[in-house]
Structure 1
Amino acid sequence: MMKKWKRYLVLYSKYFSNHLKVMMEYKADFYIGMFSVAVQQFTSLFFLKIVFNHIDVLKGWTFYEILFIYAIAFLGRSIHHIFFDNLWTLGWQYVRTGNLDRLLLRPVNPLFQVISERVQQDGFGQLLIGLVVLFTATTHLDITWSIGSVLLLALVIISSGFIFVAINLFFISFSFWMVDSLPIVASVFQLSDFARYPLTIYPKVITYLITWLIPYGFTAFYPAALFFEQKGYALTGFLTPLIAILSMVIAYKFWQKGLKSFVSTGS
């Protein structure tokens, strides 16, 4: 098992370094991609600031507390955006064209190959903005930082990223039956925007939906609540790594089920 993991790590490092070399050949495209994502994220923060120019708190949450939630959402999303963005293309680039057959002929996990065949440079812009927003928010919040709390923050951000991956993997796997499930994935992904705000502002049905059915709540709100114990959601926030593992297991099992049902375009 360890040899297998080591082999995949070596393979991915080679894929990743090659992608970076290609991106650096076109530096203008690289920086334009980063800049466009940065502008997009700043736009959402701009409108958030406009709202708080007219109110002091939103259902008991201050501007910088919500900014902290945003930061975790940005950073978690950047993990998916940089390393796993190729999942979006499964239907139209692999299943519909028969390109998946090429991957199935190789002695390497096909999901690993799909993931490895693309590094999305736009995600680096999202990562940078996430770090800036995180720094800005934490300097205005009364959070006591220690080695333990920093490690906890890193853990929940990584967990947030893998929840994004798990949800996308699960719904994109419908492509094995319907050729291209991108419209479904895009629709489901819109729900992630709800998790950038305190879930206490939504009706219970929406809170339940994005907590226990499609767990986007664990990509931002609940992890952030770990650092605001007085808000009453810290215990739920501790479930974030467990939800990430469980989501990945379910998504990967569903991927395997879909892969077994895959019929080549030449059949």
Structure 2
Amino acid sequence: MDSIKLYFQLQKSYLKSISSYKADFFMGCFSFFANQVFSICSLLVIYQFTYSIEGWSFYQILLLQSFISLSLSITDMFSDNLWDFSGTIIQKGLFDKYLVRPVSPLLLVIMDRFQIDAIGGVLSSLIMLVISFIFSKTKFTMIFLVYLICSCMIIVSIKIIIAALAFVIKKSRAVMYMIFTIYNLCSYPITIYPLCIRIILSTIIPFAFCSYYPTVMIFNKNYILLLILFSVSICTTFLAINFWNLMMKKYASSGT
């Protein structure tokens, strides 16, 4: 609870510091929103030539993509600083400031920035979700929030694992970009891909548990899948924290 309180105090200060740049905020929100519009347009083009993809209708795919977008936007909002960490923080020797504070360095890295521009992505994703729920005739239930939380936990855990590589290789942003480019494959049902791709997305890099499987459970409640999703989210979080702590032991300050 102390960490949560500290988090909101830091974010309050950060929001005050960026409140003087309102134009940047609105441009950032617009860029997130425009990205959603372009993805819908590309999906509309595809459905001009087909009625379904692996049995999925347009609005079912839209729900899948809006769920992915919402998960990514939320995680970008609260953990975007992991991208900076994987890029420059270790290389420039800026990690020392986190070590001299009486709070977990991992928590401080995550709390160091609030990506307010991602609010545009959250709002546009919510609009897409409402439209897709209505037109796909899918009933919304509160268990959707469980799917969303588990999805966000997995995404942040993968970010932490990749960012932790920077303790050894100094910069791991290229790896982060490469891995999250693979995430684009989850914009469509993974059943359209070869078996090897499906295995990778379900085990080695479990992005399918952030998109495909939760969406399947929205349409067809499957409590076995829910148990698996919950287990994967807990395991990836546990793995990420322990991997971070292991890699942090290999950290050498820029002055050494």
TM superposition score category, shorter chain reference:
over 0.9
User: What whole-Å deviation, never above 9, does each CA across 1:99-149 have from its counterpart, x for those lacking one?
Assistant: 11111111111111111111112211110111011001001123234xxx2
Pairwise CA RMSD:
1.5
Aligned with 1:195 (options 186, 198, 203): 186
User: What whole-Å deviation, never above 9, does each CA across 1:31-65 have from its counterpart, x for those lacking one?
Assistant: 10000111112111210111011111111111111
**TM-score (ref. length: structure 1):** 0.92
Mean Cα displacement is larger for which, 213-222 or 22-31?
22-31
1:247 aligns with 2:236: yes
* Secondary structure of the structure 1 residue equivalent to 2:70: helix
Mean Cα displacement is larger for which, 239-248 or 184-193?
239-248
Percent identity of equivalent pairs: 29
CA distance in 2, matches of 1:90, 1:215: 22
- Aligned partners of 1:195 and 1:221 also within 8 Å: yes
User: How much does 1:92 deviate?
Assistant: 3.6
**TM-score (ref. length: structure 2):** 0.96
Which residue identity lines up with residue 161 of structure 1 in the other structure? C
Give the corresponding residue for 1:182: 173
5 Å-filtered alignment, 1:74-93, equals: 74-93=69-88
Give the corresponding residue for 2:217: 226
Alignment gaps of 5+ in structure 2: none
User: How much does 1:241 deviate?
Assistant: 2.4
1:260 aligns with 2:255: no
CA distance in 2, matches of 1:238, 1:46: 35
Give the corresponding residue for 2:37: 42
- Aligned partners of 1:211 and 1:217 also within 8 Å: yes
Which residue identity lines up with residue 263 of structure 1 in the other structure? A
CA distance in 2, matches of 1:224, 1:112: 30
Which residue identity lines up with residue 180 of structure 2 in the other structure? F
* Secondary structure of the structure 2 residue equivalent to 1:59: coil
5 Å-filtered alignment, 1:46-65, equals: 46-65=41-60
Off by >4 Å, runs of 4+ in structure 1: none
Give the corresponding residue for 1:108: 103
User: How much does 1:236 deviate?
Assistant: 2.8
Give the corresponding residue for 1:159: 150
CA distance in 2, matches of 1:196, 1:244: 20
- Count of residue correspondences: 256
Alignment gaps of 5+ in structure 1: 1-5
Aligned with 1:209 (options 200, 214, 220): 200
